């Protein structure tokens, strides 16, 4: 018996199901069987049954294909799961493709396989497996003919010419015959045997089948499944619950483009558009309903529960009228809805990026909850075409809410399994590392994952490991042999093997050891209890080495099952809360193994294939989208047909939804489609139709319609364009272009580029632009007050980083607004105690010192990443590191050979002959540098000299105190193996002044500076204390306001005989690593709003600081 329940509303079909369950309950010895299309519908039915009957028990939920296969199994000996599932077929097909000689008779297939690697062959097998699965469902007639060795007459759509159809049919039919032979279905397919078993003995068949089922809300049903249901309905009770968006007969409607095509050929007599949106979006539903109408000829009862919004008494809105127009198969009449105006039931938001769409959504939801009739969170659905891409942005926006605004409860459901399962993610990352270069960064990132880090004793911060890797020069590669796999020299340096030995040497040898042992230098300086961490790191690297070796061997299904299980056992420590996640991963591996073992048990698959296949299996291991009582974020189709009060669809960009997906070139269904086929683009259109009809109160759409770089317009999804085309004439008061444009403005809201645009807060823009960001509003208010007080306020004004320009491209600070509009208050007495080190740091960068020390402003510095490749060039940093290590050896008198060995034992220079040649050159220069300084270093180093100097500045007592080290009888000797710079001269000058002002007994008041490019000698200076007084005075001024002193530019000005052009050249110079001084962040902030920092103050300060030094140096620079 077959009963058909039809309705345009999900709620009415649900009521019919509950009524049928109540009026004719199943036997207590047999479960009530319900076939549902998704996990979301299953949850909805479970909750509804529980609410109605007090509990949901003895109910068995299934998917249609699974249930039908079980019915086949009741009458025909078949496997538990279908052998034609793509997860099984992929391995069977791969085995055939790997079989020698299989593809030889088919040039097109053979040409591809001959130039492919194993991963390309697996990808082809996966595509073919999916295609064969579609053939089984949608082209059983083809397969029957192929099984008999017959050719199928495939006529291309629209009579287009496809030269490859015949050649593709030949090799695909041969492939199918091999599959059918191996699965025992060459003579007859299981469905054919199933039909025969029913025909032979209906009474016996009925006793073996399930007695009753309820098939609920399937969006579309394949013709073969409809035929099976028709056969089954003669033996068992089948209740069909089908959504039909239109109560009229609409099987003859076509979209306007198809209608024009038919009219040109005079074949449009029996066709019309009816409702253009239904004709364009509902093709899949129409084909499914039409197939049911044509094939189900034994319907005993047909219950229709069609009802419009108007008949239900739903308030009159633009959305309700649109739904009723689809329901009644009519177009919206021009100007018929002009009286509604902008009622907000349908709205389209245009943003500059997906992130902005989500920010806008957040504010729109807050506005919705703040309305007079707020919805509950579980009545709101948000869908997007690519949830995996949007999920991080959703979490960022919805989790970082302002403390003054309510938090929106939300759930992201339907993500891929390896996104939501930390054990799956860790396993895939570990396998990815095993096939990679083993970069130091990737190894650290892997250990940061708790399930792996805890196994080896690493929990939380891995800063110590980072420092060890950097000090030991670990860049990539397990060892030299591993590097050789990448066609590089078998060089151990910068590998984990070399770096770990250096770390162990550092632990075993005394601190500060500079001479090599076994051709390696110690590095990292691990000590004490850090030996435990060092051992754990060694164990982890050893485990990776063994894993890489194991994964390099091809294996059968059983071998890979054992390997992946061993990886979980060896590398993963799962906490209590992740036990279920681990169970899911092991279950997924088991299912993957079962599919491979069934499809091709003897196939030896390489690691690339096994890893790729496992990743695909884990991607699909998610639980499916299920609403859980909060605002639900889900993929577009996962909660299909479920009614929600408010539905939001974001990310509806052109080419994204419907997606631009095209069939494979060998897909014969794509070449000759039938109206009952499930085509991706038509499926996407039908999903959108279902969303429109499932919204009960409002439908909100958004897309990125503005270019984030130049603000140019970008098109929306074709679905939005079609919706606007249908709504604008009905909403406009006339067909005049101006009225149509006004109607479009009612529906579309264009948003500024940034969330901090003043348009959201000043009330002068579009009133539909709303923001609940109180922090941004307060920042704008402060900014406006700052501008108002700018001319009169003499105190420091730290301007907001917020822009006030109300245009869309207003995203940067107004650089004409001064950061300092006056001086800071005088420093507290504690600042009057100045150390020598503080004075040196101040003059090295006065702006940075002021902002950091007085205002507490520090620009965040990005943590330097570990290098992923060994040095291939000789840079300044490498030379400096080598000099710091080897110069003490030269000065201590070590012989050249021992120093050369120490140099080669390091890792500062690149490998190869070029690195050795440059190192030899560097050793020669270091030796010459050491010899030049040797005479001034003969005297012994004396104890540090400490002292202080007192000054009276504007009636305030200031004291400069400090300590001088590295003193000898002949004075102060400083060595720096680098070219001398303004900073070096300035620091050395301040120390020399302090030495001369203290005049310690037994020490000559001289200073000697040795640089790579020069040596400088300073003799006794009688005006030392006066010069220090001036420097401390400048220091005092620089604590209250920025001083126009910039060491490099100031030195260039003084040393070039007051050449301002030379100074300006240094100010904007690009040859320095960080550019000119004007580009430094602290200088830019402190000098913001200053038209010309190199002004008279600059000239005066440059002379005060550097002229005494330059005059003292005149004639002394050699």
Residues 983-1026 pLDDT 10s: 999 999 999 999 999 989 989 999 999 998 889 899 999 999 99
Distance separating alpha carbons of residues 351 and 36, to the nearest angstrom:
37
Centroid of chain to Cα 153: 47
Sheet architecture: strand order including 237-243: 59-62, 32-35, 212-216, 237-243, 2-7, 299-304
For every residue of 758-796, DSSP letters joined together read GGGTSSSS-TT-----HHHHHHHHHHHHHHHHTTT--S-
Distances, alpha carbon 1011 to alpha carbons 884, 939, 974, 1015, in Å: 13, 20, 9, 6
State how far the Cα of 180 lies from the Cα of 89, in Å rounded to an integer.
11
CA gap 995, 987 in Å, rounded:
13
Nearest to 541 by CA among 531, 529, 533, 552: 533
Across the beta sheet with 1007-1011, the strand order is 967-968, 971-976, 1007-1011, 1015-1018
Query: Rounded to 5 degrees, what angle do the CA atoms 413, 416, 419 make?
Result: 95
Nearest to 88 by CA among 578, 597, 454, 457: 597
Q: Give every CB contact of residue 466 below 8 A, 6+ residues apart in sequence.
A: 444, 866
Higher pLDDT, 762 or 850: 850
DSSP, collapsed to helix, strand or coil, labels residue 330 as coil
Section 362-384 average pLDDT: 95
Contact indicator for 657, 715 with CB cutoff of 8 Å: no
User: Is the peptide bond prior to 718 cis by the omega test (within 30 degrees of 0)?
Assistant: no
Place of tokens 């939005």: 720
Mean pLDDT along residues 320-341: 95
Residues 6+ apart with CB under 8 A from 745: none
**255, 726 contact by CB (below 8 A):** no
Residue 106: both structure tokens together: 């088919």
- CA 781 – CA 772 distance, rounded (Å): 15
Question: In sequence order, what are the beta bridge partners of 834?
Answer: 960
| Calpha distance 965→968 (Å, rounded) | 9
Q: What pLDDT is recorded for position 873?
A: 75
Quickly tell me which residue has 């401390």 as its tokens: 1032
631 phi and psi angles, rounded to 5 deg: -60, 125
Confidence category of residue 860, pLDDT binned at 50, 70, 90: confident
* Cα 65 from Cα 59, distance rounded (Å): 18
pLDDT digits (tens, 9 = 90+) for 446-488: 999 999 999 999 987 788 999 999 999 999 999 999 999 999 8
Look at the block and give the residue holding tokens 């050789």.
484
Q: How far is CA 138 from CA 36, 69, 120, 668, 891, in A?
A: 20, 16, 27, 11, 85
- Give the per-residue pLDDT at 764: 83
Edge-first strand listing for the sheet containing 833-835: 833-835, 956-964, 945-953
Q: In DSSP terms, which residues pair with 412 in a beta bridge? A: 633
Q: In this model, does residue 198 exceed pLDDT 70?
A: yes
pLDDT tens for 422-456 read 999 999 999 999 999 999 999 999 999 999 999 99
| Other C-beta atoms lying within 10 Å of the C-beta of residue 438 | 24
Q: Where are the alpha helices (DSSP H) in 872-981?
A: 876-892, 896-904, 912-934
Beta bridge partners of 959: 833, 950
User: Confidence class of residue 1071 from pLDDT cuts 50, 70 and 90?
Assistant: low
Dump pLDDT digits (tens) for 261-298: 555 555 544 446 689 999 999 999 999 999 998 888 77
Task: Calculate ∠ Cα 1104-1106-1107, nearest 5°.
Answer: 75
Mean pLDDT, to the nearest integer, of 164-190?
Answer: 93
Nearest to 623 by CA among 578, 579, 584: 584
- Which of 1019, 1012, 1038, 1040 has its CA nearest to residue 1105? 1038
- Average per-residue pLDDT in the chain? 89
DSSP 8-state symbol, 1020: -
CATH number of 2-80+192-245+282-307: 3.40.50.10930
Q: In angstroms, rounded to a whole number, what is the distance separating the alpha carbons of residues 769 and 763?
A: 9
pLDDT at 1116: 47
Residues ≥6 apart with Cβ < 8 Å to 1054: 1102, 1103, 1106, 1107, 1110
Reduced 3-state DSSP string for 803-861? CCCCCCCCCCCCCCCCCCCCCCCCCCHHHHEEEHHHHHHHHHCHHHHHHHHCCCCCCCC
Domain 86-184 listed as CATH 3.20.20.70: no
Q: What is the mean pLDDT of residues 793-821?
A: 48
Which of 381-385, 660-664, 723-727, 1074-1078 is predicted with the least confidence, judged by mean pLDDT?
1074-1078
pLDDT higher than 80, residue 161: no
d(Cα 1070, Cα 692) in Å, to the nearest integer?
A: 58
As a whole number of angstroms, the distance between CA 617 and CA 754 comes to: 40
d(CA 616, CA 981): 58
pLDDT tens string 621-658 = 656 789 989 999 999 999 999 999 999 999 999 999 99
| Domains 86-184 and 318-414+625-750 agree in fold | no
Label residue 803 by pLDDT band (50, 70, 90): very low
Q: Is the per-residue pLDDT at 220 higher than 60?
A: yes
- Tokens for 740, please give them: 């149509």
- The pLDDT, as a whole number, for residue 779 is 84
The share of the chain scoring above pLDDT 70, in percent, equals 93
Determine the Cα–Cα distance for residues 1083 and 848; give it in Å rounded to an integer: 7
Residue 402: predicted pLDDT: 60
Partners of residue 1015 on adjacent β-strands: 1010
Residue 508 tokens read as 């075993």
**Span 418-619 CATH architecture:** Orthogonal Bundle (1.10)
843 and 990 in contact (C-beta within 8 Å)? Answer: yes
What pLDDT is attached to residue 800? 35
| Ramachandran assignment for 971, one of left (phi > 0), alpha (psi -120 to 50 degrees), beta (any other) | left
Question: Would you state the pLDDT for residue 801?
Answer: 35
Burial bucket for residue 507 (CB in 10 Å: 0-12, 13-18, 19+): middle
Task: Give the confidence band of 778 by pLDDT, cuts at 50, 70, 90.
Answer: confident
Residue extents of the structural domains in the chain: 2-80+192-245+282-307, 86-184, 318-414+625-750, 418-619, 829-860+939-1113, 876-933
Q: Per mean pLDDT, which range of 170-184, 662-676, 700-714, 911-925 is the poorest?
A: 911-925
Question: According to the model, what pLDDT value does residue 859 have?
Answer: 86
Confidence of residue 720 (pLDDT cuts 50, 70, 90): very high
H or E element in which residue 125 lies: helix 118-138
Measured distance CA(657)–CA(661) in Å, rounded: 10
CB 1066, CB 1052: distance < 8 Å:
yes
**pLDDT at position 208 over 50:** yes
**Would you state the pLDDT for residue 1006?**
94
Question: Kindly report the CA angle at 720 between 719 and 723, in degrees rounded to 5?
Answer: 85
Distance from C-alpha of 73 to C-alpha of 309, rounded to nearest angstrom: 45
Element (H, E) at 1069: none
Candidates 3.40.50.300, 1.10.357.10, 3.30.420.140, 1.10.3470.10; CATH matching 318-414+625-750: 3.40.50.300
Calculate the CA 820 to chain-centre distance: 40
Measured from the Cβ of residue 811, the count of other Cβ atoms closer than 10 Å reads 14
**pLDDT bucket at 254, cuts 50 / 70 / 90:** confident
Residue-level pLDDT at 295: 86
Q: Give 289: exposed, middle or buried? Use CB within 10 Å, 0-12, 13-18, 19+.
A: buried
Residue-wise pLDDT for 69-91, tens only, equals 999 999 999 988 899 999 999 99
């Amino acid at each position: 018996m077959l009963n058909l329940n039809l309705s345009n509303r999900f709620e009415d079909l649900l009521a019919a199901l509950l009524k049928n369950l109540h009026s004719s309950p199943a036997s207590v010895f047999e479960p009530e069987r319900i076939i549902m299309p998704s996990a979301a519908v299953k949850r909805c039915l479970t909750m509804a049954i529980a609410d109605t009957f007090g509990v949901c028990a003895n109910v068995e939920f299934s998917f249609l294909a699974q249930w039908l296969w079980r019915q086949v199994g009741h009458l025909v000996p078949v496997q538990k799961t279908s052998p034609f599932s793509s997860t099984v077929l992929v391995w069977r097909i791969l085995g055939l493709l790997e079989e020698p000689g299989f593809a030889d008779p088919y040039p097109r297939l053979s040409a591809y396989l001959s130039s492919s690697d194993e991963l390309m062959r697996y990808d082809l097998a996966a595509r073919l497996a999916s295609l064969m699965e579609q053939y089984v469902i949608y082209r059983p007639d083809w397969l029957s003919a192929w099984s008999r060795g017959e050719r199928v007459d495939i006529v291309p759509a629209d009579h287009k010419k496809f030269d490859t159809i015949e050649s593709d049919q030949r090799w695909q039919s041969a492939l199918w015959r091999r599959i059918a032979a191996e699965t025992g279905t060459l003579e007859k397919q299981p469905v054919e045997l199933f039909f025969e078993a029913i025909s032979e003995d209906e009474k016996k068949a009925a006793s073996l089948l399930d007695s009753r089922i309820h098939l609920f809300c399937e969006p579309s049903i394949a013709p073969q499944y409809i035929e099976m249901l028709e056969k089954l309905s003669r033996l068992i009770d089948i209740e069909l619950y089908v959504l039909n968006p239109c109560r009229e007969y609409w099987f003859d409607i076509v979209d306007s483009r198809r209608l024009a095509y038919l009219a040109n050929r005079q074949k449009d007599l029996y066709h019309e558009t009816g409702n253009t949106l239904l004709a364009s979006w509902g093709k899949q539903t129409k084909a499914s309903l039409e197939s049911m109408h044509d094939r189900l000829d034994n319907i005993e009862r047909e219950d229709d529960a069609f009802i419009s919004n108007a008949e239900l008494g739903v308030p009159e809105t633009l959305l309700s009228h649109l739904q009723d127009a689809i329901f009644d198969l009519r177009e919206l009449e021009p100007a018929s809805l002009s009286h509604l105006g902008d009622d907000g039931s349908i709205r389209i938001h245009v943003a500059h990026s997906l992130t902005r769409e989500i920010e806008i959504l957040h504010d729109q939801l807050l506005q919705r909850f703040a309305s007079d009739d707020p919805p509950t969170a579980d009545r709101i659905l948000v869908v997007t075409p690519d949830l995996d891409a949007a999920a991080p942005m959703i979490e960022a926006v919805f989790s970082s809410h302002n403390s003054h605004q309510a938090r929106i409860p939300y759930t992201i459901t339907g993500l891929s399994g390896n996104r939501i399962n930390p054990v799956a993610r860790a396993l895939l990352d570990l396998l990815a590392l095993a096939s990679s270069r083993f970069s130091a960064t990737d190894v650290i990132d892997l250990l940061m994952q708790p399930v792996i880090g805890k196994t080896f004793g690493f929990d939380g911060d891995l800063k110590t490991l980072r420092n060890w890797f950097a000090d030991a020069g670990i860049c990539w590669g397990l060892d030299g042999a591993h590097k050789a796999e990448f066609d590089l020299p078998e060089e151990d340096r910068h590998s984990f093997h070399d770096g770990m030995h250096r770390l162990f040497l550092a632990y075993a040898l005394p601190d500060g050891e500079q001479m090599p042992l076994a051709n390696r230098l110690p590095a990292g300086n691990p000590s004490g209890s850090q030996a435990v961490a060092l051992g754990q790191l060694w164990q982890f690297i050893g485990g990776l080495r063994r894993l890489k070796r194991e994964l390099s061997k091809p294996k059968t299904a059983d071998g890979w099952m054992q390997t992946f299980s061993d990886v979980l056992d060896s590398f993963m420590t799962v906490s209590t809360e992740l036990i279920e996640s681990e169970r899911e991963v092991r279950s997924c591996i088991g299912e993957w193994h079962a599919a491979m073992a069934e499809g091709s048990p003897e196939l030896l698959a390489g690691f690339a294939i096994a890893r790729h296949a496992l990743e695909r299996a884990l991607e699909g291991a998610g639980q499916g989208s299920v609403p859980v009582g909060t605002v639900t974020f889900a993929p577009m189709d996962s909660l299909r047909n479920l009614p929600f009060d408010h539905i939001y669809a974001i990310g509806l960009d052109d080419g994204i939804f419907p997606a631009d997906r095209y069939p494979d070139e060998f897909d014969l269904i794509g070449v000759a489609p039938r109206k009952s086929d499930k085509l991706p683009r038509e499926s996407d259109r039908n999903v959108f139709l279902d969303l429109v009809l499932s919204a009960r109160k409002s439908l909100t759409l958004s897309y990125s319609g503005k270019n984030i770089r130049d603000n140019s317009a970008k098109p929306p999804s074709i679905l939005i364009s079609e919706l606007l085309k249908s709504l604008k004439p009905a909403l406009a008061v006339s067909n005049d272009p101006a009225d149509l444009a006004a109607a479009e403005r009612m529906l579309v809201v264009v948003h500024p580029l940034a969330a901090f645009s003043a348009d959201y807060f000043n009330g002068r823009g579009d009133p539909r632009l709303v923001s609940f960001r109180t922090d941004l509003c307060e920042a704008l208010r402060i900014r406006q007050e700052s501008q108002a007080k700018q001319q009169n306020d003499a105190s420091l004004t730290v301007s907001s980083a917020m822009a006030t320009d109300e245009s869309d491209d207003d995203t940067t600070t107004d650089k004409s607004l001064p950061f300092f509009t006056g001086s800071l208050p005088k420093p507290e007495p504690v600042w009057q105690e100045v150390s020598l080190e503080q004075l040196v740091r101040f003059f090295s960068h006065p702006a940075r010192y002021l902002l950091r020390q007085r205002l507490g402003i520090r620009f965040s510095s990005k943590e330097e990443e570990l290098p992923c490749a060994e040095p291939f060039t000789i840079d300044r940093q490498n030379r400096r590191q080598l000099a710091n290590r080897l110069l003490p050896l030269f000065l201590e008198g070590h012989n050249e050979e021992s120093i050369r060995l120490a140099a080669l034992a390091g890792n500062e220079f690149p490998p190869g002959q070029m690195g050795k040649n440059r190192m030899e050159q560097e050793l020669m220069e270091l030796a010459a540098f050491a010899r030049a300084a040797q005479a001034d270093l003969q005297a012994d180093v004396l104890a540090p000299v400490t002292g202080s100097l007192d000054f009276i500045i504007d009636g305030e007592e200031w004291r400069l105190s400090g300590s001088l080290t590295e003193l000898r009888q002949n004075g102060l000797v400083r060595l720096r193996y680098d070219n001398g710079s303004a900073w070096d001269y300035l620091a050395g000058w301040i120390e020399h002044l302090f030495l001369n002002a203290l005049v310690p007994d037994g020490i000559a008041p001289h200073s000697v500076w040795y640089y790579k490019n020069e040596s400088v000698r300073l003799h006794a200076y009688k005006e030392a204390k006066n010069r220090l007084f001036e420097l401390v005075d400048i220091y005092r001024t620089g604590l209250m306001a920025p001083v126009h002193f910039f060491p490099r530019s100031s030195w260039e000005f003084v040393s070039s005989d007051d050449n301002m052009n030379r100074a300006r050249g240094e100010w904007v110079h690009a040859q320095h690593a960080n550019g000119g001084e004007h580009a430094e962040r602290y200088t830019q902030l402190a000098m913001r709003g200053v038209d010309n920092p190199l002004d008279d103050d600059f000239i005066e300060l440059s002379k005060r600081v550097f002229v005494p030094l330059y005059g003292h140096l005149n004639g002394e620079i050699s």
